[in-house]
Structures are given as structure tokens and as C-alpha cells.
Structure 1
Amino acid sequence: MTTSPDPKSPVSASPTSTETSAPVPVPAAGFDEGTFQKIPEPRSENRLPLGDGAWHQISPKYVVGQLIGYVATLVLIAAVVLVVRFVSEENWPLIPGAIAFVFFLLLAIITPRQARSIGYQLREDDLVFRRGILWQRMVAVPYGRLQLVDITHGPLDRGLGIAQLKLVTAAASTGVTIPGLPQQTAEQLRDALIEVAETRRTGL
């Protein structure tokens, strides 16, 4: 009797793996708890396809953090606009204030969809990161080229229980930052990537 791999596990061990190509360690259960579950795709036939394999996404709390940042920025801009208007006794400061309001309103509308477009896939030899709806980006980071796996989070991120994971390689163009990961997920993914990166560098 054969069993099929769990479709939500980050990677499945390959039967052809060698000592220099060990499979990515599977993080503990609950790895995808508290995250989005489906990546939206553009309707264009020329879009970058998702391909096969399990995709993992970020936490909806990332959207909350972004919206809080937008509101704080708007409050600051509004304060500056009111001060300038009071000092100048003119109405022209209201124009850039209104433009800024419309700009951040548009950001607030598209941010949830942008957050849902962010995903990563743990394959046998690399991590594939993708983001973007109108402007899509998809980059593969080979495990053997990883030089640093860093977790960062500010006060707001800590309050929301999320963090960003930064993957640094020798080539700056292939480094990526995965934002909005649940804290526990970021720590599990960091440990798994460090473990497999050490194995792959040994085999280089």
C-alpha cells in the first residue's frame, strides 16, 4: 500500500535524493495556520503560472499592519497641511493633502489583493518566491547559495505577531524578503532553510 505526500507539506522527499541533495526538512504541523490559503492569479494568458506544488502564503495581519501605517501617515500629513494652512491663511495646502488622501485610499484598496499574491514554494533545490498582480515577480533562491536567513520585526509587527524573513545570497538580485509571516512560521522556516543550506553548501 502506498501513500501520497501531504499536499500542504512544504516539500516532499524525493526518492532520487542523494547525500548532497537532501530534502528540505518538513516544519512542524500547523505551518500554514493563520495564513491566506489561495493565491489569486491574473486572467491574462501571458501571466506567470503558479506551476505544480504547494504554495504557502502570508498572514492577513500583514494587511492590518499596512493599513495602520497608511492611517498614521495620513494623520501626519493632515497635521502638516492644517499647520501650513493656518500659518499661510491660504487654501492651497488642501490640494496636496487631498492628493495624498486619494493616493493612500487607493493603496488601502489594493493592499489586500497584493498581500494575497505573495507566496513561496519550497522545492527540492530552491525556494521560489512570487508576488504581484499587475507587476509580477517570481524568483528562485537556490538553497546552496543562501548566506544569511534573517528575521526582523518592528514594534507593530511584534504586536500583531508577524515577522519578515530575509534571504540573502551572493547575488543581490536573487535575495528575497518574505513579509507578514506568523512569528512561529518564520522561525520554523528559518531553521529549516539553515539546515538544508548547510547540507547543500557541503555538497558544492
Structure 2
Amino acid sequence: MQVIATLFWVIVIIAGFGVVRSWDTSGRLWPIAVALVALTLVRGGTAVRSVRSWGYAERDDDLLVRHGLLVRRLSIIPYARMQFVDVSAGPLERVLGLATVTMHTAAAASDARVPGLAGPEASRLRDRLAALGETRSEGL
């Protein structure tokens, strides 16, 4: 999502360069235009790194979810603590065939999400987590 938004702004800024070039004959606006392009490129780089920072791993008794660029976070969610699992997809995610899986637990602070999964993978993960949550919570 962030990468697409950055690409959108790159296109807008390139169009803006054309406008600046046709209107500004004195050259005063060029430093501003160059700074905007530099900021957009930096934002694009962080967006790509942000997408790559998300990950998850299914273990025997729990699910690991990690994310973060500057502050890295690792959440361990026991299957027995999961109350329900959501799969959601906004308009742009639907166009791209992506979805976000959200795990809700008894403690609101320990909810976790895994964004940017392919639709079939998101459904598979939801079904697996729901089944594991049911079997693990039977002993409680």
C-alpha cells in the first residue's frame, strides 16, 4: 500500500516538474522541486523496507509476528489465547488481491495483524489459526 502511494506521488511530482519548467523561467522553484523529489525517493525507500519488515511464523503452540523499521517488534500469540481471527481487505487491497489477517486475543494490547498477504494465503492462515485456537482452548 505504501509503495503504491509513493509511486502515485512520484507521478504527481514528475507532472509538477513539467509545470514548473513551463512557468518558472527564473529558476527559483527548481530547488523546491528537487527537494520534493528527494523526499519522495526517501519515502519510497522506507516504504519498501517497511513492507519487507513484516513477517510471521507458525509454531506448534503459538504464532510469531514481527515488524518495524527503527523499533522492531516481535509478538508471540499463543493459539489458546486467540478469540477470533479477521480477514479484511480495503478497496486498494482488493484490486491488488491482498488481504490483512488480524488476530484478536483476550487482552486488547496483544492483538496482532499480518498485512499484505495474498487472498488465498490469508484465508488459509485464518482457517488454520481458527482451528488451532479451538483445539488449544479446549483444555482451558
The equivalent of 1:191 in structure 2 is 127
Secondary structure of the structure 2 residue equivalent to 1:113: helix
The equivalent of 2:86 in structure 1 is 150
1:21-32 aligned within 5 A: none
Cα deviation, residue 104, structure 1? 3.6
2:7 & 2:48 partners in 1: Cα distance? 15
1:99 & 1:173 partners in 2: Cα distance? 39
1:99-114 aligned within 5 A: 102-114=38-50
1:133 & 1:110 partners in 2: Cα distance? 8
1:15-164 aligned within 5 A: 65-72=1-8, 75=12, 102-164=38-100
Q: Are the structure 2 counterparts of residues 124 and 99 from structure 1 closer, same or farther at C-alpha, using a change threshold of 3 Å?
A: same
The equivalent of 2:24 in structure 1 is none
Note if contact 2:7-2:44 (Cα within 8 Å) is conserved in structure 1. no
Cα deviation, residue 102, structure 1? 4.4
2:4 & 2:43 partners in 1: Cα distance? 12
Per the normalisation by structure 2, the TM-score is: 0.75
Q: Which has the higher helix share?
A: 2
Cα deviation, residue 133, structure 1? 3.6
The equivalent of 2:25 in structure 1 is none
Q: Are the structure 2 counterparts of residues 133 and 108 from structure 1 closer, same or farther at C-alpha, using a change threshold of 3 Å?
A: same
1:109 & 1:130 partners in 2: Cα distance? 19
Task: Give the gaps of 5 or more residues in structure 1.
Answer: 1-64, 83-90
Task: Give the gaps of 5 or more residues in structure 2.
Answer: 20-27
2:103 & 2:53 partners in 1: Cα distance? 19
The equivalent of 1:165 in structure 2 is 101
2:45 & 2:118 partners in 1: Cα distance? 23
RMSD, aligned α-carbons: 2.7
Amino acid at match of 2:81: R
- Number of positions where the alignment pairs a residue of Structure 1 with one of Structure 2: 127
Per the normalisation by structure 1, the TM-score is: 0.53
Q: Deviations over 1:119-144 (max 9, x none)?
A: 11111111011112432110101111
Q: Which has the higher strand share?
A: 2
